[in-house]
Structure 1
């Protein structure tokens, strides 16, 4: 079996190494979220961390990893005596697959055995296996909502509760939560995002020498893993010793009151929500001081901790990229601390990471450049900073004005609207979400059925009703029912699903000429925000000139969708039919790729079609697809062309009223546009 790639052999990624090491030194830091593009060694370095963690002592035979010195009094395998002998084993690295079931995560009571054999049996889940170790979730942003809820409960309480048909089991579940994600595939729920103590943004190096070294080492590892690991054994052992020493030292590190006030001032100045940021920053600063061998937290430790603990807590809505203005951080530290950090990355020698001269890196790493990877200062969609071409500038542009290349200037979006929810009719079987009705593993029980395979969600009353008529012929003579496999019934539950929301947006000159594009962008941004909150996938098609373009293939990342919308050019004729045909083709492909996810088509147009083929024939290709038409027509005289399109699609129509009329988005909005949605409270 091929072992893990050595932690010390990973080239660069100093911020990520430091974040993982701080958590290894002090589990109180609260875990790490690693954001980055694909192919940046996110999973490799996380798996390599387990080898650097000190071993744990456990009670022999306990499936819940109880500590012999302090056993859990409620352990299902207990009670354990305080004098029981223990054994040492490596810290566990448990991986939670994105598609795992609830039973696999928290454990399961075997109801089938309980009903047929009268045995009360509990099988521990992944949370039990991860106790006192690391729980690693690759692609954590794709994790189903019901699993996120269970993770949140366990992370908050340090305890896993399993409730199954009047039987209750609880056990300790304290673990280091590490997640990796590609932001292009969607963002995390704010509640789970806040549970990660630190976050690191990683990007592939653009330095040819560094990239070559990455490939060189990987090829050597793939050719002979054992020999490659042996070559790095000395650095790995040195790193493990340094982590163990820092762990022993961390409880003795002093956090002066002046540094604590400095942390509080920085967190308040960056307007983070709640006090978790202050606690995480304080714990990370203490861990950083222990890691560098200090006895007291300094401004350098506070800076290193703040760089990793604050970026993801500064996001005000899902369209903001996480980031931290480090020059402002330096100013705040100087203002509230009275001294300047020594180096640009907060380390004692200015490096701030484990790649220090006395750290684990080998000689080939001496030239590695740190990859901080955190974006600085994001501009919110529709904010003053991002809206330098304000209403006055937009209104002064002449209809059809050009930037010199035949394309009218881009118009910024107004503030996103709050929108009323739209649903796909009927009952689906799609991915867990919050939009349309669907049969889901969680939700309210609406009935029962005979299980197709292994019993997953037992419906006890229905099982008993199925068994009751046959008790006499089965020879029942005492209390209790005689239950057979054929009597077993599972629950049918109804909840909500996420859908594919495909936007088809008219970007032609007729929209730009009337300065409607600004309000259209605000409308679509509001719909994108709604899609984020309801766990939808989104896609964006625009049509202008003579063609339609898929500017955003279906994705779970509304952040990418908002960026593409802001960059949207306008002008030219109106090929409405081309936009509808492109939508039909995209939906056809998506049905093959993800057949369980039902689509919702949102067409944003004034209904005009000044070029291309027959609209009626193109609309016929979308027959049976749930759709909504947002009518952008304005002016005293309205032709009602969007109404005709809606009739062909069998879709409701909502109107984009002028903001001056006070209607916001009319039927689509229902609420005034100057009150922005607080997405943290809405999810």
Structure 2
């Protein structure tokens, strides 16, 4: 077979030239064999060739037969009856083109993703025409999202709809369009920058963890090949063309073999037993695991699914679906997987029993009478009240719970999220205004109203005549994400009466809330004689939870040092991202026993315009109210620890006839 000529302009890094990353390459290849598996989520540290491998996959996919001129890539053998470019004749001509890899940028607009009204034709010709978006371009191909965990929520919602139904629905600006949109969804992400929403995570068929090799010889080969590719992309790609062509042929052969692969009842029982053992939600995991096992068998050229196919499929399909705590990383216990496979394997035929009487008990495997009453030497629990051997203690965190909403006052214009009110590029349209620059979100109705009175004077003849001064910008309001800085008191006074477990549970709950609202977080702790930034501002809420769990307590209370350290974090982040508004959450009982009084530090934060919330951890029948005084100095609100839970807030509202609870600012909570 003649190899295609490779030009420098379209020479992607060859798939066959990738060193290592066996699980990632296998996951992508089995999805190429059976796109119904649902795609791949690639998790890993930066610089591990995640994007390079995904982009290289497109060259291996078999070409597509499409209806000539159809912008939605309809299959000529089974065209979409609702295609906006249809109807198509199933007996009509067909064209062939390579499978597409469509990249969805993290900052894409909603119009670019789903499509929108063709404004040029609408204003120039007076007709409603649809301009398709990326979901149409990706139909029957690969939709690739780099840094998918940073994708805006409104784009995630669009992907969820299309992935669930296999169709894209567009209802906007007087346009009502539906078209097929079935694609292989591939996403890459760095877990240090935050996790995915659970709904989108479940839509990925398989997940793979990648990390750079620690073997010097393998790393050297990676560098050697990359340097060769950078020096001559076309020549390097041509050198690996034969290997890529062999992989493409193997994919085509596996696709042809796929309908003949048999999933026996025994293999199916192993699939369902493994899924049940890991307590996954729903039945999508069972379906994906079964499809993956079948595709693995076809990839190996077999027509029967073997136990090793089921095991490999489970390792790829279940890590992100098993039930886990909010901040646990995906993964599977290999021993638990092997036990589940063995327990569901068909039992061998029993050997015939030997003639004659057998032992009736008391052998090695039997428990001797009284054995259970004899403790092993050195066993048992430690004596109660035994010393810990250290003046510092690390308390475990209580279970997280839903917390009451904490907001930044006013209207911001930061990155889209789920916490505070803001002007955003999506959300509900609240009004129109004259554009201050280029029109990025046209308010069509307001534009037409502005142009209508001038049509006679402008000599309209058919099409609507619109001038620059008629254009109106849509003003949309939604929610933004914030920078949430936790300033946590870890002094000895917090360790008293076992309060630190509840405090850690509260902060863990607030971290979980920040994760769900797509916030950036930082953690400052203070104890002894100083404060430290336990976690610089990051998207990785999981890292904050890990630091919190290991946080020791003890020593004096340098409250002022903690506030000043938090102010420094806020000041640095304001330089890096001036549009992201901060929320300071101080978790303390208000005492300060080291350093100067906190009034000046609190006044500094208030002067910076920082929205603050003090979580009052004071307990006992006699309360000094120091946390409320600190909240007043910060110009913020004070919430008692036991009132932080959303359930407590609901009960408080039910029990009172007042509009709300009075805060340190005199506002309703």
What is the TM-score of this pair, normalised by structure 2? Answer: 0.86
In the alignment, the residues of structure 2 paired with residue 444 and residue 393 of structure 1 have an alpha-carbon distance, to the nearest angstrom, of: 61
Match of 2:31 among 5, 16, 23: 23
Q: For 1:252-284, what per-residue CA distance to the aligned partner results, in whole angstroms no more than 9, with x for missing partners?
A: 111112222221222122111111111111110
Do 2:615 and 2:640's aligned partners in 1 also have CA atoms closer than 8 Å? yes
1:436 has 2:420 as partner:
yes
1:603 has 2:586 as partner:
yes
Do 1:318 and 1:558's aligned partners in 2 also have CA atoms closer than 8 Å? no
Question: Which residue is 1:502 aligned to?
Answer: 485
Do 2:167 and 2:180's aligned partners in 1 also have CA atoms closer than 8 Å? yes
Report the secondary structure of 2:524's partner residue: strand
Q: Within 5 Å, which residues of 2 pair with 1:107-256? A: 107-111=115-119, 113-256=121-264
Distance 1:425 1:393, change over 3 A: farther
1:643 has 2:651 as partner:
no
Question: Which residue is 2:550 aligned to?
Answer: 567
- Residue 38 of structure 1 deviates from its aligned partner by 0.8
- Residue 551 of structure 1 deviates from its aligned partner by 1.4
Report the secondary structure of 1:603's partner residue: strand
Report the secondary structure of 1:214's partner residue: helix
Do 2:404 and 2:646's aligned partners in 1 also have CA atoms closer than 8 Å? no
Do 1:333 and 1:339's aligned partners in 2 also have CA atoms closer than 8 Å? no
Match of 1:310 among 303, 318, 321: 318
Question: Which residue is 2:374 aligned to?
Answer: none
In the alignment, the residues of structure 1 paired with residue 423 and residue 79 of structure 2 have an alpha-carbon distance, to the nearest angstrom, of: 41
Question: Which residue is 1:422 aligned to?
Answer: 406
- Residue 542 of structure 1 deviates from its aligned partner by 0.7
Q: Within 5 Å, which residues of 2 pair with 1:524-603? A: 524-603=507-586
1:43 has 2:51 as partner:
yes
- Residue 417 of structure 1 deviates from its aligned partner by 2.8
Do 1:575 and 1:611's aligned partners in 2 also have CA atoms closer than 8 Å? yes
The range that moved more, 194-203 or 205-214, is 205-214
Match of 2:605 among 622, 641, 653: 622
In the alignment, the residues of structure 2 paired with residue 194 and residue 625 of structure 1 have an alpha-carbon distance, to the nearest angstrom, of: 37
- Residue 130 of structure 1 deviates from its aligned partner by 1.1
- Residue 438 of structure 1 deviates from its aligned partner by 1.2
In the alignment, the residues of structure 1 paired with residue 469 and residue 121 of structure 2 have an alpha-carbon distance, to the nearest angstrom, of: 14
Do 1:315 and 1:322's aligned partners in 2 also have CA atoms closer than 8 Å? no
In the alignment, the residues of structure 2 paired with residue 666 and residue 449 of structure 1 have an alpha-carbon distance, to the nearest angstrom, of: 38
Distance 1:95 1:534, change over 3 A: same
Report the secondary structure of 2:523's partner residue: strand
Do 2:124 and 2:464's aligned partners in 1 also have CA atoms closer than 8 Å? no
Do 2:262 and 2:303's aligned partners in 1 also have CA atoms closer than 8 Å? yes
Task: Give the length in aligned residue pairs.
Answer: 610
Question: Which residue is 1:366 aligned to?
Answer: none
- Residue 570 of structure 1 deviates from its aligned partner by 2.0
In the alignment, the residues of structure 1 paired with residue 198 and residue 645 of structure 2 have an alpha-carbon distance, to the nearest angstrom, of: 27
The range that moved more, 107-116 or 141-150, is 107-116
1:655 has 2:663 as partner:
no
Distance 1:329 1:201, change over 3 A: same
- Residue 110 of structure 1 deviates from its aligned partner by 2.5
Match of 1:276 among 279, 284, 287: 284
Do 1:417 and 1:669's aligned partners in 2 also have CA atoms closer than 8 Å? no
Q: For 1:395-429, what per-residue CA distance to the aligned partner results, in whole angstroms no more than 9, with x for missing partners?
A: 9588xx763xxx61211101113211011111111
Do 1:76 and 1:169's aligned partners in 2 also have CA atoms closer than 8 Å? yes
Distance 1:162 1:292, change over 3 A: same
Q: For 1:54-79, what per-residue CA distance to the aligned partner results, in whole angstroms no more than 9, with x for missing partners?
A: 11122222222222222222222222
Do 1:64 and 1:129's aligned partners in 2 also have CA atoms closer than 8 Å? yes
Distance 1:631 1:499, change over 3 A: same
Do 1:604 and 1:630's aligned partners in 2 also have CA atoms closer than 8 Å? yes
Report the secondary structure of 2:320's partner residue: helix
Report the secondary structure of 2:260's partner residue: coil
Note the residue ranges of structure 1 that are not aligned, 5 or more in a row.
Answer: 341-391, 658-662, 673-683
In the alignment, the residues of structure 2 paired with residue 608 and residue 543 of structure 1 have an alpha-carbon distance, to the nearest angstrom, of: 12
In the alignment, the residues of structure 2 paired with residue 584 and residue 668 of structure 1 have an alpha-carbon distance, to the nearest angstrom, of: 30
- Residue 511 of structure 1 deviates from its aligned partner by 1.3
Report the secondary structure of 1:251's partner residue: helix
Distance 1:393 1:219, change over 3 A: farther
- Residue 5 of structure 1 deviates from its aligned partner by 1.5
- Residue 195 of structure 1 deviates from its aligned partner by 0.3
Match of 2:474 among 491, 504, 512: 491
In the alignment, the residues of structure 1 paired with residue 18 and residue 263 of structure 2 have an alpha-carbon distance, to the nearest angstrom, of: 32
Distance 1:283 1:647, change over 3 A: same
Note the residue ranges of structure 2 that are not aligned, 5 or more in a row.
Answer: 1-8, 349-380, 653-669
In the alignment, the residues of structure 1 paired with residue 21 and residue 592 of structure 2 have an alpha-carbon distance, to the nearest angstrom, of: 52
In the alignment, the residues of structure 1 paired with residue 66 and residue 222 of structure 2 have an alpha-carbon distance, to the nearest angstrom, of: 38
In the alignment, the residues of structure 2 paired with residue 181 and residue 22 of structure 1 have an alpha-carbon distance, to the nearest angstrom, of: 20
1:82 has 2:90 as partner:
yes
Question: Which residue is 2:657 aligned to?
Answer: none
Distance 1:249 1:409, change over 3 A: same
Question: Which residue is 1:675 aligned to?
Answer: none
Question: Which residue is 1:385 aligned to?
Answer: none
- Residue 443 of structure 1 deviates from its aligned partner by 2.3
Question: Which residue is 1:289 aligned to?
Answer: 297
Do 2:402 and 2:646's aligned partners in 1 also have CA atoms closer than 8 Å? no
